[in-house]
Amino acid sequence: MQCFDKICVLIPAYNAQWTLGSVLKKIEPLKVDTLVVDDGSSDETERVASERGVQLLKHSLNLGKGAALRTGFQWILRKDYQVVITLDADGQHDPAEIPFLVKIFQNVKPDILIASRAAEFGKMTFLRRFWNRLGVKAVARLCHSDITDSQSGFRLIRKEVLNEVDLSTSRFETELELLIKACKKGFRVLSVPINTQKVDGTASSHFRPVADTWMVCKLFLRSLFW
């Protein structure tokens, strides 16, 4: 069994009562510290997290996935962790992949390791597929890195990255903001393919295809002048 003493799993969650429990149950055998940030849920997300005994922070209002990540990052930076693993609460990311990803992270030593869903792009809606197939090429060129999935929420991130990168966005564009700013500061990014889990229909995506795709695109255009 690998040692996860200096690692914290961060899960932003919004109205995820039907899926969060299963995700946390799969993490338990790994014996890794876990933080859930409840982004103003109106369901039983807070109760589910509390019953699993993980660290829990809660927004009084729904501020967005990026805001939940930022809250989690700030909490983690005050602790003694060296690496944060982010994954989603909807069950599409399999926590059983964590030991595999940690092994690559330890051996290759990137600053950010992205668990890439590139093989799954064909199953996405048109707008998400458009961004993930075409937009990712622009991001990879901008970052001078072989990035195959710029929007994956399943990542391993060194604490040094979080100390150096100042984030200002609050929704789904935050993951891209972190990636681009880290690359511009010289941090090394690596992508590794994984399979995503099929959700059982109890999960719902809070991604707004038009509005959030537009916000991601605007973020990318602004980044050209950073």
**Mean pLDDT, residues 26-36:** 98
* pLDDT value at residue 118: 61
Residue-by-residue DSSP string for 18-30: TTHHHHHHHHGGG
In the prediction, which pLDDT does 201 show? Answer: 46
Q: Token digits for 169?
A: 């966005």
Distance CA 205, CA 224 (A): 29
Give the per-residue pLDDT at 149: 86
pLDDT of residue 23: 98
Residues 7-223, CATH architecture: Alpha-Beta Complex (3.90)
DSSP state, 43? S
For residues 179 and 42, give the distance between their C-alpha atoms in angstroms, rounded to a whole number: 30
Q: Domain spans of the chain?
A: 7-223
CA distances from 67 to 17, 63, 157, 172 (A): 19, 6, 17, 9
Calpha distance 196→19 (Å, rounded) = 15
Q: Identify the pLDDT of residue 123.
A: 60
Closest by CA position to 81, among listed 5, 188, 21, 189: 5
User: Over the stretch 100-125, which tens digit does the pLDDT of each residue have?
Assistant: 999 999 999 999 999 997 656 556 66
Q: Rounded to an integer, what distance in angstroms lies between the CA atom of residue 159 and that of residue 223?
A: 22
From 33-37, 78-82, 185-189, 214-218, the region with the lowest mean pLDDT:
214-218
Cβ neighbours around 125 below 10 Å, total: 11
Q: pLDDT for 44-86, tens place per residue?
A: 999 999 999 999 999 999 999 999 999 999 999 999 999 999 9
Confidence of residue 1 (pLDDT cuts 50, 70, 90): very low
- Considering the chain, what is the average pLDDT of its residues? 88
Higher pLDDT, 85 or 149: 85
